Amino acid sequence: MLVMLPLSMLAWSAGLPPLFSSLKPGQDLPKEFRIIIVPKIARNKFSLVADEGKTVLRVDSENSAGSLGLPLTTPAGAANVSLEWRWKVNHMLDNADMSAKTGDDFAARVYVFFDVSIDSLSFADRTKLRFARMIAGPDVPTAALCYVWDNSRRVGHTQWSPYTNRVRMIVLQSGTTNIEKWMTESRDIAADFREAFGVDAPAVTGVAVGNDTDNTGEHVTTWYGDVSIRNK
């Protein structure tokens, strides 16, 4: 299911949110974070837990969807920064298929939202985006990258979301090889944006982490370590 960016996210402070590792297991999520839900879909469960001596985010999905929005932003464009995080999943989704809306579920996914004005889009893209918003809701982003842990596509595979060509999905982990292992990622988000959209990356307005199983009706547990935007 396509995760939608709340309009309020654009108004968040550019200050750094607390790292998961700086929090205590079992405490409530800090107010700087926002749970992003999908209307009429059961909500994922989010909790802070201990893992290997560090506090991490746990996301449980059972025929549900949702992400945790992190106010990670860039003051201007996204050049010369990298997005870094750790993630782990307990198993793959048997029936996921990223090429179809009916199978658009992932054991883990990380969204990066960009500050692209709808007025800057071509007439064709504006029309497609408005159609996508009619189907999925008014806050379908004007541009986003979505890094995923897929069940079958090769690592490095990229394609548009089946919901909109304003969200580019990029497979970073695939299959069962690294199940139940912490994997560390670092992405040049400006390079990924240019490859996907053909223009320089604008400012980042937020990042969201989560998983979803609402289309396949399956269940999965995902853990996230600290997520940060760093200068290269």
Tokens read off for 125: 């893209």
Using a pLDDT cut of 70, give the percent of the chain over it: 82
Residue 1 lies in a domain: no
- φ, ψ dihedrals at 215, nearest 5°: -85, -40
Distance CA 203, CA 79 (A): 9
Q: For residue 71, give Cα distances in angstroms to 26, 37, 51, 60, 113.
A: 21, 16, 24, 22, 10
CATH code of residue 87? 2.60.120.260
Residue 56 lies in a domain: yes
Between 2 and 60, the higher pLDDT residue:
60
Domains held by the chain: number: 1
Q: Residues 147-204: pLDDT tens digits?
A: 999 999 999 999 999 988 889 999 999 999 999 999 999 999 999 999 999 999 998 9
Confidence class of residue 2 from pLDDT cuts 50, 70 and 90? low
Query: Which pLDDT band, with edges at 50, 70 and 90, does 75 fall under?
Result: confident
Name residue 160's beta-bridge partners: 168
Q: Beta strands 144-150 and 167-174: pairing type?
A: parallel
User: How far, in Å, CA of 212 to CA of 44, rounded?
Assistant: 8
Q: Is residue 148 one of the residues assigned to a domain?
A: yes
pLDDT band at 10 (very low <50, low <70, confident <90, very high): very low
What are 15's two structure tokens?
Answer: 């200050």
Tokens of 119: 């007025």
67 bridge partner residues: 36, 210
The predicted pLDDT at position 121 comes to 63
Bridge partners for 69 per DSSP: 34, 208
Q: Is residue 2 part of a domain?
A: no
Task: Give the angle 116-119-121 at the CA atoms, nearest 5°.
Answer: 70
Domain residue limits at 129 = 7-231
Examine residue 205 and state whether it is found in any structural domain, yes or no. yes
